[in-house]
Amino acid sequence: MHGAMWIDTHCHLDAAEFEPDRKAVRSRAAAAGVAHCVLPAVAPANFETVRALAHAHGDSYALGIHPLYTGAATDDDLVLLDRALAAHRDDPRLVAVGEIGLDFFVPGLDAGRQQHFYEAQLALAQRYALPVLLHVRRSADALLKQLRRTPVAGIAHAFNGSAQQAAEFVRLGFRLGFGGTLTYERALQVRRLARELPLAAIVLETDAPDIPPHWLYRTAGERATGSAQGRNEPAELPRIAAVLAQLRGLGVEELAAATSRNACDALPRLAALLPPLTPP
C-alpha cells in the first residue's frame, strides 16, 4: 500500500480523545500514506484550534457549527462564523464551511433550530464561495431540499442514505464520504453504494476519533453490541480504502489517485496544498 497517497476528507484531530498523543497520531497517518487531513470545526470554540492544527501539520480546515451543537448555539455564533470566514478568506488552508447540516437521529434536538443554522451557514458558504462539509443523519431529504434553493456543492460526509438520495447529491455537485462503516459486512446499504456509485462521486474519510473500522473492536461480541469502541485515527484510512478497493475490484493505487482527485474537485483549494497527484 506504500506509494499510494490518501486524503482523509473528515478528521476531528482537535478532539479531546487525541489530547495525549495528537502529534504521534498525525505522524502515524503520514507514515501510512495519509498525505492530507481536512479538519472540520464544530463550534466557534474550536475555530482557532482547527486552523492552528491545519497550519502546524500541513493540513486544511473548515469552519462551521455542527447540528449537534445548535442547541447551545446562538445567532451571535453565526456572527462569529461570518467574521472568522472574512478574517481567513485568503488563508489557502481554509477549504470549506463545515461541519454543518441536520441530524434527525439524536433525540432532543430542535429541528427548526437546526434548520435555521443550516440555512444561515449555506448562505455564508455562498457568500464566501466555499464548498460545505455536510453532516447527514436521517436528514438527506431535508438537506437536499434546501440545497436546491441555495446551491452550493461539497461533501456529504459519512453518507448512509438511499441510492436515490445519493444520486441527487451527486447531481447537485456533491461527493459522498465513505469510511469505517463500509468495513462492516452488515452495513449492506453503505457497501452497496460504495460498490455501485460512480467512482468520481466517492471520497474517503475516517471521521476520527469516531466511526472506527471493525478491526478496532477486540471481539465479535463487542462489534455486535457496539461496545468498547476503539479510537479511530487517520492512519486507519489506507486499510479502510483497501476494503473499498476490494468491494469495487479496483487496484489500491488507482483508488488512491481517483479519490484524491475527487477530493480536490469537491474542495477546490485542496489541490494547491498537495504534492502532484499523478506523476508528470
pLDDT for 74: 96
Task: Specify which residues 63 forms β-bridges with.
Answer: 97
Among 173, 211, 171, 178, residue whose Cα is nearest residue 193 = 178
Lookup result for grid cell 429541528: 111
> Is residue 207 part of an annotated ligand binding site?
yes
> Is residue 99 part of an annotated ligand binding site?
yes
DSSP H or E stretch at residue 178: strand 174-178
> Is residue 12 part of an annotated ligand binding site?
yes
**C-beta contacts of 241-244 below 8 A and 24+ residues apart:** 241/4, 241/6, 241/204, 242/1, 243/182, 243/183, 243/213, 244/178, 244/182, 244/194, 244/202, 244/204
pLDDT for 275: 81
Q: Which three cell numbers stand for residue 53?
A: 492544527
Dist CA 199 CA 255 (whole Å): 8
- 90-103 burial code (b ≥16 CB/10 A, e <16): eeebbbbbbbbbbb
pLDDT along the chain (280 residues), means of 10: 83 96 97 97 98 98 98 97 98 98 95 98 98 97 97 97 97 98 95 97 97 80 58 97 98 97 98 74
Dist CA 38 CA 118 (whole Å): 20
Q: Which three cell numbers stand for residue 238?
A: 489506507
Q: Which three cell numbers stand for residue 189?
A: 446499504
> Is residue 135 part of an annotated ligand binding site?
yes
Chain center to CA of 37: 9
- Whether CATH 3.20.20.140 fits 10-273: yes
pLDDT for 112: 97
Among 31, 74, 22, 6, residue whose Cα is nearest residue 208 = 22
Q: Are strands 34-40 and 60-63 parallel, antiparallel or unpaired?
A: parallel
pLDDT for 277: 64
Dist CA 50 CA 59 (whole Å): 10
Dist CA 206 CA 187 (whole Å): 16
Dist CA 175 CA 149 (whole Å): 19
pLDDT for 44: 98
Q: Which three cell numbers stand for residue 136?
A: 447527514
Please, what sign has the CA dihedral across residues 43, 46, 52, 53?
negative
pLDDT for 279: 47
